[in-house]
C-alpha cells in the first residue's frame, strides 16, 4: 500500500505560552543572582526521563550550589506535548526532553527516522547512532528550529496494548490508537488497519478510559507509571519500535550563560544521561515484573511467525521513508547499524 507524508502542520502559538514568555525573560542569565533552569517533561518522576532529570538537578546542585538552580516539573505540570516546544522557543522554559517522535511536527522531520518499525531491536543499537556523527548531525538540525540539542536519552522498545492481544494483522482492524504526533507512527498504524489518533501524553489514560481510543503503544515504564494497566487489559510484547529523547535548551538562554556554567551543565548532563540510560534498561525490566505481579494485565509474547507477519505488513512504511525526503538519513542510520 503506498503512503504519502502530509506536510507538517503549523503549530499554533498558545496564549499561555506567550503570556508565560513575557514573565520569563528575566530567566536569561544576567549576572544578578541565581540562574533558574526550568526542566519540564511529560512523564512520571519514576521513569528513565524523570529520574535522569532529577539526577541532573542533583549533580548541578552539588557542583554549583544555589548559583544554578534546576527546577524539575514532571507530568506535564508546567508544559505538555501541545505547547512545550513553543514554550522553549519563547523562553518560558529552559530545558525539555521531548521524545524523538515529537520533533518531526516541530519542523525537524529527520527525527522521524527513529520511529520506523523494526529498525532497532535494542536500545544499544540506537546508542551507536546517537553517539556517532549521525546523532551529532541530527542535534545540529535542531538549531534551524531555535533549539539547541544537548544529548540523547533512551527509554526503550515500545509495545502495543488494547482490549485484546495484538498478534496478527487481523487483530488491529477497527482499533483507534492513541499515538504521538509523528507521521511515521501514524503510517505504521494505518498499515496495520488501525486508525491513529494524535493525543498529548497527559490525556492518554483518560482517553483510553472513556473509549475515545482503545489501543496505544509505549515502553513498559510509561505503561506502568501512567496506570494504563487498568484501562488496557491486554499487553502484547511487540517491541516494534524505539522511544527515546533529545534534551534541548533555548539557544538564547544558553548563550547568556558564562562559558564555565555551560561547561558545568554540559558535564552534569552527560553524566545524568549516561546514568539515565542505565536506569532505562532496568526500569523497563522492573516494569514488566511489576505489571505481571501487581496488575491484572495479561502479557502476550508473539511467536516468531506472528512477528514476521507484522513486519511484512509494515514494510510499506519503510519504503515510504526510503523514498521520501528522509531517505538519506535512513540510509545513514542503517549504515551505522550494519558497520561492525
Q: Which residues pair with 248 in a beta bridge?
A: 96, 149
Instruction: State the minimum distance, in angstroms, from the CB of residue 245 to ligand LMR.
Output: 7
- Tell me which stretch binds ligand LMR (CB under 6 A): 41-49, 123-131, 137-145, 286-294: 41-49
Among candidate residues 241, 265, 283, the one with its CA nearest the CA of residue 50:
283
The nearer residue to ligand LMR, 64 or 280, going by C-beta atoms, is 280
Torsion-angle region of 177 (φ positive above 0: left; ψ -120 to 50: alpha; else: beta): beta
- The count of C-alpha atoms lying within 13 angstroms of the C-alpha of 229, restricted to the half-sphere facing its C-beta, is 19
- Minimum distance between the CB of residue 32 and ligand LMR, rounded to whole angstroms? 34
Q: Hunting for cell 498499515 — which residue is that?
A: 191
* CB-based contact 248:265 (threshold 8 Å): no
42 vs 231, beta carbon nearer ligand LMR: 42
In whole angstroms, give the CA distance from residue 243 to residue 216: 13
Nearest residue to 288 via CA among 215, 239, 231? 239
118 binds ligand LMR (CB under 6 A): no
Q: In angstroms, what is the minimal distance from the CB of 128 to ligand LMR?
A: 21
**Contact code string over 44-73 relative to ligand LMR, x by CB under 6 A:** -----x------------------------
Question: Is residue 43 a contact point for ligand LMR (CB under 6 A)?
Answer: yes
Quick one: 208 or 257, whose CB is closer to ligand LMR? 208
Count interface residues toward ligand LMR (CB under 6 A). 10
Among 57, 161, 182, 222, binds ligand LMR (CB under 6 A): 222
- Looking at beta carbons, which residue is closest to ligand LMR? 99
Q: Which of residues 161-220 bind ligand LMR (CB under 6 A)?
A: 180, 201, 218
Q: What whole-number distance in Å separates Cα of residue 68 and Cα of residue 95?
A: 13
Specify the 3-state DSSP secondary structure of 54: helix
Which residue, chain included where needed, has cell 502476550? 300
Question: Rounded to an integer, what distance in angstroms lies between the CA atom of residue 148 and that of residue 150?
Answer: 6
d(CA 269, CA 59): 8
Q: CA 237, CA 160: separation in Å to the nearest integer? A: 7
Of 243 and 269, CB closest to ligand LMR = 243
Comparing CB distances to ligand LMR, the nearer of 20 and 283 is: 283
Part in contact with ligand LMR (CB under 6 A); list of ranges 42-50, 103-111, 116-124, 300-308? 42-50
Nearest CB to ligand LMR, comparing residues 64 and 156: 156
| Helix (H/G/I), strand (E/B), else coil: 306 | helix
| Residue 99 in the binding site for ligand LMR (CB under 6 A) | yes
Nearest residue (CB) to ligand LMR, 236 versus 261: 236
27 grid coordinates: 530567566
Task: State which of residues 20, 24, 42, 330 lies at the interface with ligand LMR (CB under 6 A).
Answer: 42
238 binds ligand LMR (CB under 6 A): no
> Which of 218/326 has CB closer to ligand LMR?
218
Main-chain phi, psi angles of 279, to 5 degrees: -60, -35
Residue ranges that bind ligand LMR, judged by CB under 6 A = 42-43, 49, 99, 155, 180, 201, 218, 222, 243
Amino acid at each position: 500500500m503506498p503512503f504519502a507524508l502530509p506536510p507538517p502542520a503549523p503549530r499554533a502559538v498558545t496564549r499561555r505560552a506567550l503570556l508565560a514568555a513575557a514573565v520569563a525573560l528575566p530567566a536569561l542569565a544576567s549576572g544578578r543572582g541565581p540562574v533558574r533552569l526550568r526542566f519540564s517533561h511529560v512523564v512520571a518522576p519514576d521513569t528513565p526521563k524523570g529520574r535522569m532529570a532529577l539526577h541532573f538537578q542533583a549533580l548541578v546542585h552539588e557542583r554549583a550550589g544555589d548559583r544554578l538552580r534546576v527546577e524539575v516539573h514532571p507530568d506535564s505540570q508546567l508544559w505538555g506535548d501541545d505547547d512545550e516546544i513553543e514554550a522553549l522557543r519563547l523562553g518560558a522554559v529552559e530545558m525539555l526532553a521531548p521524545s524523538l517522535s515529537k520533533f518531526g511536527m516541530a519542523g525537524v522531520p529527520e527525527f522521524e527516522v527513529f520511529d520506523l518499525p523494526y529498525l532497532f531491536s535494542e536500545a544499544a543499537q540506537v546508542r551507536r547512532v546517537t553517539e556517532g556523527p549521525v546523532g551529532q548531525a541530527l542535534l545540529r538540525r535542531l538549531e534551524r528550529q531555535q533549539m539547541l540539542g544537548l544529548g540523547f536519552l533512551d527509554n526503550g522498545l515500545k509495545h502495543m496494548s488494547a482490549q485484546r492481544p495484538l498478534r496478527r494483522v487481523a487483530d488491529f482492524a477497527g482499533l483507534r490508537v492513541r499515538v504521538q504526533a509523528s507521521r511515521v507512527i501514524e503510517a505504521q498504524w494505518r498499515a496495520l488497519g488501525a486508525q491513529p489518533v494524535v493525543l498529548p501524553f497527559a490525556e492518554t489514560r483518560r482517553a483510553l478510559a472513556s473509549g475515545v481510543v482503545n489501543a496505544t503503544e509505549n515502553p513498559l515504564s510509561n505503561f506502568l507509571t501512567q496506570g494504563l494497566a487498568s484501562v488496557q487489559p491486554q499487553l502484547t510484547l511487540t517491541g516494534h519500535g524505539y522511544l527515546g529523547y533529545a534534551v534541548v535548551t533555548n539557544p538564547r538562554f544558553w548563550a547568556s550563560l558564562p562559558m564555565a556554567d555551560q561547561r558545568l551543565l554540559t558535564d552534569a548532563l552527560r553524566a545524568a544521561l549516561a546514568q539515565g540510560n542505565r536506569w532505562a534498561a532496568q526500569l523497563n525490566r522492573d516494569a514488566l515484573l511489576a505489571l505481571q505481579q501487581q496488575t491484572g494485565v495479561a502479557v502476550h509474547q508473539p511467536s516468531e511467525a506472528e512477528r514476521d507477519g507484522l513486519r511484512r505488513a509494515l514494510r510499506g512504511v519503510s519504503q515510504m521513508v526510503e523514498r521520501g525526503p528522509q531517505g538519506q538519513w535512513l540510509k545513514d542510520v542503517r549504515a551505522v547499524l550494519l558497520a561492525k
